[in-house]
Amino acid sequence: MNSLTRHYGADASLDEPSAREIGLWLKAQAGSYKRVSEEPPQDRITKSAWFLRKHRAGEVPPDAWTRAAVGSPANCSACHGNAAHGTFSEREVRIPK
């Protein structure tokens, strides 16, 4: 939140009240248990140990990541249809062909 002008290659700057409100929300929601206590490489969820474990080749075919409808591991909602509502249940996963 302190470097939104350089947000993974994009300028994501916000007005001060919005940045403060979102920052407080992120702090309140952030996990603190061991699984998420290690900072992932480049600060990316998709490079964290738990993400790689949950999305290993046995769960997600390696070619799925580059399919047109997916494009990148960061496109959570391509496979997790309810991602926008914070739901990532494995019962609702559908990998696009």
What does the binding site for ligand HEC look like in residue numbers (CB under 6 A)?
45-46, 54-55, 59-60, 64-65, 70, 73-76, 78-80, 88-90, 93, 95
Distances (CA, A) of 48 to 21, 36, 71: 26, 8, 19
Compare residues 45 and 49 and give the one whose CB is closer to ligand HEC.
Answer: 45
What is the C-alpha separation between 46 and 56, in angstroms, rounded? 11
The least distance separating ligand HEC from the CB of residue 38, rounded to whole angstroms, comes to 16
How far separated are the first and last CA of the chain, in Å rounded?
Answer: 35
Task: For ligand HEC, give the closer residue by CB, 19 or 83.
Answer: 83
